[in-house]
Amino acid sequence: MIATALSWWLGADSPFFGENSFAITTGLMLIAFTKIRFVIRYFMEVRHAPVALRLVCDVWVVVICGAILTLYGLGSPAG
């Protein structure tokens, strides 16, 4: 809930990062994927699952988050 409020604040033209789009978007994505890992491990109970399932989920989180930030960085105009 707190993480969602933080995302909301970051996305709603927060004065903290000013016009630094890259910092804001990176922050938003890192918050989102941290929440997702929490949902997967604790809500979906994957922390108790066999290592293969835990590994597949963690790889998905890292690869998709990393690829989103990489593609965003490549396509984003400076600032």
Partner 1 sequence: MSQTKNHVPGEVGIWVFILGDMLVFGLFFLVFVYYRGLDVELYRQSQAALNQHYGAFNTLLLLASSWFVVMAVENARAASGKQAAKLFSLALLCGAGFGAVKFIEYSEKLAAGITITSNDFFMYYYIFTGLHLLHVVIGMGVLTFLIIKARSPQFQASDMVLVESGASFWHLVDLLWIILFPLLYLMK
Q: Which of 1, 15, 55, 58 binds partner 1 (CB under 8 A)?
A: 1
How far is the C-alpha of 10 from the C-alpha of 6, rounded, in Å?
6
Q: Residue 44, interface with partner 1 (CB under 8 A)?
A: yes
- Give Cα 46 to chain centroid, integer Å: 19
Residue 24: CA count within 13 A, CB half-sphere = 17
Phi, psi values for residue 33, rounded to 5°: -75, -25
List binders of partner 1 among 18-37 (CB under 8 A): 21, 24-25, 28-29, 31-33, 35-36
What region does 76 belong to: left with phi over 0, alpha with psi -120 to 50, or beta? beta
CB of 15 vs partner 1, minimal distance in Å: 14
Q: Residue 75, interface with partner 1 (CB under 8 A)?
A: yes
Q: Which of 15, 16, 68, 78 binds partner 1 (CB under 8 A)?
A: 68
| Residue with smaller CB distance to partner 1, 15 or 77 | 77
